[in-house]
Amino acid sequence: MTGTTSGQDRPELARAHALALEWLASLDDRAVPPAATVEQVTEALGTDLPEGPTDPVEVVEHLARACEPGLVATPSGRFYGFVIGGTHPAALAADWLVSAWDQNAGLRALTPAHSAVEDVAEAWVLDLLGLPPESAVGFVTGGTMANFTCLAAARDEVLRRAGWDVAGRGLVGSPGVRVVAGEERHDTVDLALRYLGLGAPETVAADGQGRLDPAALRDALAQHDGGPLVVVLQAGNVHSGAFDPFSEAIEVAHAHGAWVHVDGAFGLFAAASPTYRHLVDGVTGADSWATDAHKTLNVPYDCGLAVVRERAALRAAMGMHGDYLILDEAGEPFDKVPEISRRGRAFTVWAVLRALGRSGVADLVDRMAGHAAAFARGIEAIDGAEVLNDVVFTQVCAAFGSDERTRDVVRGMLADGTAWMTGSRWHGRAVLRVSVSNWSTTETDVERSLAALRAVAGR
Ligand SMILES: *Cc1c(COP(=O)(O)O)cnc(C)c1O
C-alpha cells in the first residue's frame, strides 16, 4: 500500500460519494416518478461534443445536476412498478468497489478474487434455491440473458441427443426443435428463443391464475414423435405471481425426453423461504433455471443468474476455446456466459448473501410477500376496487371498475407521485399492478401508498 486516497487527491470520487448519499437521502420524501422528460434532461446535458477536456469533478457535478430531475426513485420503498427490486446496502457498497477494482471476470488467471467469489456465490445460490449442487451458475446481465443462456444449452443438448452438432453445423438442415411453453410465459422467453433461431414457441393453455395446465401439456405432447423437445415453465407470473405446477409438468415433459427450463426471474427466490417454498415444489426436477439477482435479491443492476444442471451442456454451448486464452482445468468463468469480458457481478451477489444469511434472505422474501398481501387487503377495502389475482407471492393485480376508470387511477397515481404502480392488461382487462420487490419497503410505505391510492380512487 502506498498511502491512502483521500477526498483531497481524488476529489471527483469524494464528490460522487456525496452526490450518491444525497440521492439516497432524498428517497424517503421525493416523488417516485421523474420530474423531467428525456428532452429536458438532454437539454440540461447539452448535446455538443466537447472539443477538449473537462475536469472530472465538473463532469460529475454536471452529470448529477442534469440527470437528477430525470431519475426515477426505483430504489424507493414505494416503487412497485414492473418487477424492479432495490439495492441492499451491502450490495451497493460492494458495487462501488467493483467499479474501483475494475476486474475482468472472464478468466480465472485474470482475477483470482472474482473467480473465488463467483465459486462461493454459485454454491450459496444453489443451496438457497434448493437446486442440484452440481449445477453451474452463469452470472449474466438479467433474466432475459439467463433465459437465453439456459435455452442455448437446452437447444444444443436436445439436438446433440438427436445426433446433430449445432456448434459445428449450425441450425440450417438440423432436425426441428419443438419448444412448448405456457400461454402466460414472459415475453423475454420468446425473445431468447428468437435470438436462438428457434422461432415462437408452441403454447399450452393456462388456468385463471396464468399457471400452465398440466393436462393441456399432456395432451400437447401425447403425439410427440420423440424428436428434440424443450418445455419452458414459469416460477412467478408477472401479473398474478402464480407458479406453474412443476412436479406434474416436469414429469410429463421428461416422459417425452424434454429438456425442462424454468423462467423464475423473480419467483424462484420463493425457494429461499420456508413459508413460500411450497410454491416451487418440484422445481428442482427441471434441467435449467433462469433468475434475476437484481429483482428479489436486491443487487444493483445488472445481474441475472443462468443455472444449468448439466455443467458440460452449458460449457459446450457457451465455452470458447481459443489457444491464446489460459485455460484452467476447473473451466473458465466465461464458459458459463455469452460474454468473454464482463463485470464482476458475483461480488454484489456474494455481498448481499453474506449480509443477509439464510434467515435474512427468507425474511426478505417473506416481507415482500407480506406487504403484497397487505396491499391486497387495502385495495379490497376501497370502494369499487377489486383484486383480480390470488395473491400468493409479491404481485397484486387490481381493477377499479371499468377499464377507463382503472386507467384513470393509474394516471392519477403517477401524477400524485407517492408511489409508482404500473398499468397493464391482464385477461382482457386494464389493471393496476403492484409488485413488491424492494428490501427497504416498510409497513409505513405500504400505508402511505394505500392512502394515496384511496385518495386517487375516491376522486
Ligand atoms: C423480469 C422478467 C424477465 C426478464 O428479466 P430482465 O432482468 O428484465 O432481463 C423474464 N421473466 C420474468 C418472469 C420476469 O419477471
229-234 vs 79-80, strand pairing mode? unpaired
Q: Rounded to the nearest 5°, which phi and psi values hold at 126?
A: -65, -40
304-308 vs 136-140, strand pairing mode? antiparallel
For the Cβ of 210 lying below 6 angstroms from any atom of ligand 1, the answer is no
pTM (two decimals):
0.96
| In contact, 307 and 78? CB cutoff 8 Å | no
| In contact, 450 and 378? CB cutoff 8 Å | yes
The burial class, CB within 10 Å (0-12 / 13-18 / 19+), for 393 is buried
pLDDT values of the chain reduced to their tens digit, one per residue, 459 residues: 455 555 678 999 999 999 999 999 999 999 999 999 999 999 999 999 999 999 999 999 999 999 999 999 999 999 999 999 999 999 999 999 999 999 999 999 999 999 999 999 999 999 999 999 999 999 999 999 999 999 999 999 999 999 999 999 999 999 999 999 999 999 999 999 999 999 999 999 999 999 999 999 999 999 999 999 999 999 999 999 999 999 999 999 999 999 999 999 999 999 999 999 999 999 999 999 999 999 999 999 999 999 999 999 999 999 876 445 555 667 899 999 999 999 999 999 999 999 999 999 999 999 999 999 999 999 999 999 999 999 999 999 999 999 999 999 999 999 999 999 999 999 999 999 999 999 999 999 999 999 999 999 998
Q: Rounded to the nearest 5°, which phi and psi values hold at 263?
A: -90, 105
The 3-state DSSP class for residue 50 equals coil
Cα–Cα distances (Å) from 285 to 213, 245, 247, 280, 308, in that order, read: 18, 12, 7, 11, 12
* Test site for ligand 1: of 83, 193, 279, 289, most ligand atoms within 8 A of the Cβ: 83
Lookup: cell for 147: 433465459
| In contact, 340 and 362? CB cutoff 8 Å | no
Ligand 1 centroid to Cα of residue 423, in Å, is: 17
Q: Give, using CA atoms, the residue closest to atom 6 of ligand 1.
A: 143
